[in-house]
Amino acid sequence: MPFQIKKARHIMPRVKSKKSPAVPHRSKRLPRGPHGGIELLLIQPVEYLGKQGDVVEVKRGYAMNYLIPQGMATIATEHHKRMVEKHRAELEAIEKARLAGLQTLAAELARQSITIEANANDEGHLYGSVGATEVANALKRNNFHIAADQVRLEGPLKELGLYTLKVHLGHDIDAEVKVWVVPSVADDNPTLTEDNS
């Protein structure tokens, strides 16, 4: 009788998997607007969307990935809507104070004249260019905390000279600031250091 080898089968014991409790889909808990978006209550003003206390309808991704995590908005529940109506006068007073502050800042910026040094050739053409980041950094050195995306340029500055640039502060408030782009001064030039002393 021929010898037969049987393959041994490893039998794994069956483990009962625990089913997780049924969790309702997140979108069912979020209030939907008439156009199918998510209804949010703005905690602070958002450019091109609305002002503080407004109930807006946005796409789910914009709500969940940007507005809510950044603390700019919250879910527009009936409770939140009632609270906003209750405190509407207080919110309007805060908004007026914010606008007054922005207008004061715009007036202060209009009185400013900042200087940015850049490498240039003899004809006044810059070797590089001056962009919004350099303007924002120069304003920060003068204690104006302006972000680079608030500086409105039609293109990078590529020549020496005086420029009048717009700075967008929000709420349709723009300020104009004077920017001098001047040639860089070399530290090893003795005639310039004697004239400055």
Q: What is the pLDDT of residues 67-100, one digit of tens each?
A: 989 888 888 888 887 887 777 778 778 888 888 8
User: Which pLDDT score, from 0 to 100, does residue 137 have?
Assistant: 92
**Quick one: DSSP state of residue 50?**
B
The yes or no reply on domain 26-86 and CATH 3.40.5.10 is yes
Average pLDDT, the chain: 79
Q: State how far the Cα of 76 lies from the Cα of 40, in Å rounded to an integer.
A: 5
The per-type count for the chain, helices as H runs and strands as E runs, is 6, 9
Q: Does residue 152 have a pLDDT over 80?
A: yes
Per-domain residue ranges of the chain: 26-86, 102-187
Average pLDDT over residues 102-112: 90
Q: Class of the 102-187 domain?
A: alpha beta
Query: Greater confidence, 147 or 12?
Result: 147
Which pTM value belongs to this model?
A: 0.53
Name the residue type at position 185.
Answer: V
H-helix or E-strand spanning residue 58: strand 55-58
In sign, the C-alpha dihedral spanning 142, 193, 195, 125 is: negative
Q: Residue 23: what pLDDT? A: 40
